[in-house]
Amino acid sequence: MKVLVTGGGGFVGGALCRRLRDLGHDVTGLGRRANSGLTALESEGIRTVIHDLSLLEGVSDLARLFVEVDCVFHAAAHVKMWGPREAFVRGNIQATNNVITACRAAGVSKLVFTSSPSVIASDHDLRGVDESVPYPKQYRAYYPETKAVAERAVLSAHSATLRTIALRPHLIFGSGDTNLVPTILNRARAGRLVQVGHGKNLVDLTHIDDCVSAHVLAAAALDRRPTAGGRAFFISQGTPVPLWEWIGRILTLHDVPSVQRQLSASSAQFLATIAETIWKTIRLSSDPPLTRFLVKEMSTDHYFDISAARRELGYIPTCTVWEATEKSDN
């Protein structure tokens, strides 16, 4: 099978390129700009291309890249805690719309989209919920808002000629992680990691190996199970863990001192609101120390029912969060 992976220079995209190559597929990794991730793929014999998915005038060029491709894995995204809304719209909504348009123009038959559970994020705990939970009316951050728009576009595009599916892996970590664990460690080492809330909130996590397996299974399901198409699926290790206990274990494994400071969720929300107001008012380019969305992520329960992925995709986690944490080199 000939496949193309957007975001090939990133954490998920790079791991997916390697797995697909190992499975014998003809793989191309696409990135917006040259980076170490794409260079690593090239050194391993995986074809790479550079293209900005968000450019309206670049759709015809993108379609040419998609010619004879059987499946596009759209793993590219603008993932940040903070920043101008236009950047999220370009990187998540416009880029995804362009991918859909190019798939149709080139006759691509399958599109697997890497979404996020944050598309249903709200001010409330999410305890074992399934995919029937609706999108909220309002979002606290541009990332979940724009990812939700992109996900809906992908699912709406599902048809007899372009079969689509969306995966919602939660808090991905493991070998090659450039976001979750490195951010925790960097903040802790700088003395800027503060426990928010009581510390017992339960969350799902997803190891990169199982995340990649879910993508491969999703592509196969679009061929074998018509009922899987046009749907979103939660992906995780299947059993939630206390977030701050997991963070504590990460710090211990990396010989970083444990978190010593704590803020109540209400105090953190108050400070985050002030920080966001200041950053917006004087247009600071850096990330604020806290945002309202981040506070909710750090202090509430958010874990999900993966029964649909088990049933429709054949997805089975290979290890627990704790086992994955011990074997991870991040």
Q: Could you give all domains of the chain from N- to C-terminal order, each with its CATH number?
A: 2-173+205-237+302-318 (3.40.50.720)
Question: Helix or strand or coil: residue 201?
Answer: coil
**How far is CA 305 from each of CA 38, 63, 171, 236, rounded to the nearest angstrom?**
34, 36, 15, 9
What per-residue confidence (pLDDT) applies to 50? 95
pTM of the complete model beyond 0.75? yes
pLDDT tens across 270-311, in order? 998 899 889 888 888 788 888 888 888 888 999 999 999 999
Extract the tokens encoding 73: 């894995």
Q: Give the span between the Cα atoms of 111 and 78, in whole angstroms.
A: 19
Look up residue 242 and give its two tokens.
């206390």
- Tell me, yes or no, if 315 is annotated catalytic: no
Contact 173, 205 (CB under 8 A): yes
Among residues 135, 139, 142, 143, the one annotated as catalytic is: 143
C-alpha span between 218 and 112 (Å, rounded): 7
Residue 289 or 230, more confident: 230
pLDDT at 329 over 80: no
Integer-rounded Cα radius of gyration of the chain:
19
Summarised one tens digit per residue, pLDDT across range 14-64 is 999 999 999 999 999 999 988 999 999 999 999 999 999 998 888 999 999
Nearest-angstrom CA–CA distance, 137 and 142: 13
Residue 326 has φ and ψ, to the nearest 5°, of: -70, -30
Q: Is the pLDDT of residue 183 over 80?
A: yes
pLDDT in tens, 105-152: 999 999 999 999 999 998 789 999 999 999 999 998 999 999 999 999
Give me the pLDDT at residue 299, please. 86
Q: Could you give the CA distance from residue 211 to residue 8 in angstroms, rounded to a whole number? A: 15
Q: Categorise residue 107: left if φ over 0, alpha if ψ from -120 to 50, beta otherwise.
A: left
